Structure 1
Amino acid sequence: MAMKFDPFRELDRVAGALLDPRQRLRLMPIDLYREGDHYIMNADLPGIDPGSVDVDVDGQLLTIRAERTIQAPEGATWLTRERESGSFLRQLNLGQGIDIDGISAKYENGVLSVFIPVSERAKPRKIEVSAPSTGGGNIIQGESTSAPASSSAGTGSGSGTSGSSGTSQGFSEGAGI
């Protein structure tokens, strides 16, 4: 089995272990991709009480907060305790081409899915060009029609993306931890 070593993640893990693990905020791993006219973000939050999950948007900043509490039996002697409890936080900066009012989320089987629609004005469209059929000069008339766009824009964790129309529609990682 091939494993990918990330020295920065390992450094973060070691630094976090040196600090009090109950006092720091934890990151949640995410996947972010575009499917048609929506971005879909999946965040791993296993063992989280769905009532503690909070998703909100302030301007162009999407914030996800969650809390995990692990109930320990009274008088238990721990042999190993690797499952972390505490607060989780993730912030993403939304691009200008996002329909903020249409954002929705669901939590199922330990995964939070956030559906982020692309705004109508940011969707690619076809411009029809027509010319007058009678010899009445050099006037060109145009009409805009909507057409589905094929997206070839890739996304990466913490990197911005742009749609095929060239408008900035993507996300960038927030520094609010």
Structure 2
Amino acid sequence: MTMSFDPFSDLDRLTSQLGSRSTRLMPVDLFREGDRYVLAADLPGIDPGSVDVDLDGHVLTIRAERTAASHESAKWLARERPYGSYVRQFSLGDGIDTEGISAHYDNGVLSVVIPVSERARPRKIDILGKSEQSSISA
């Protein structure tokens, strides 16, 4: 197998390895769709049993662990696939239905559905006419 030379690859690898032993990057997309928020987190190669989603008050925490491949007798030529702990925390506002939060993991993507509470949903405010206003103030 032939590998090309990149003068910056060693620096990139060293920089990423300095922080790689603790917490890894977990890229997410977050969007609102109707009366719910959807958070999609990329967790490729993660064992679904290691994924943990917790809610403590208004803080949603996602944790996952990717273990390194163990090939004890191997001489590594390249080892670029990240492993270690993944952690992200999100602060949820008051307008969230915390009892309705759900999550599923499929094809390396964790999807967390966060419904908006009934009281935080947009609603139409009726405008009272002059005759209706006088009966309210009386």
Q: TM-score, normalised by structure 2?
A: 0.81
Amino-acid identity (%)? 63
1:139 aligns with 2:138: no
**Superposition RMSD in Å:** 2.4
Identify the structure with the greater helix proportion.
2
| Structure possessing the higher radius of gyration over alpha carbons | 2
Q: Which has the higher contact order (CA 8 A, sep 6+)?
A: 2
Q: Provide the C-alpha distance between the structure 2 equivalents of 1:52 and 1:40, rounded to a whole number of angstroms.
A: 21
| SS of structure 1 residue aligned to 2:134 | coil
Runs ≥4 in structure 1, deviation > 4 angstroms? 12-15, 130-133
Q: Provide the C-alpha distance between the structure 1 equivalents of 2:98 and 2:28, rounded to a whole number of angstroms.
A: 20
Letter in 2 for 1:126: K
Q: Provide the C-alpha distance between the structure 1 equivalents of 2:89 and 2:19, rounded to a whole number of angstroms.
A: 22
Residues 1-177 of structure 1 aligned to structure 2 (within 5 Å) = 15-17=15-17, 19=18, 21-22=20-21, 24-131=22-129, 138-140=134-136
Q: TM-score, normalised by structure 1?
A: 0.64
Question: How many residue pairs get matched?
Answer: 126
Unmatched tracts of structure 1, length 5 or more: 1-11, 142-177
Unmatched tracts of structure 2, length 5 or more: 1-11
| CA drift at 1:126 | 1.2
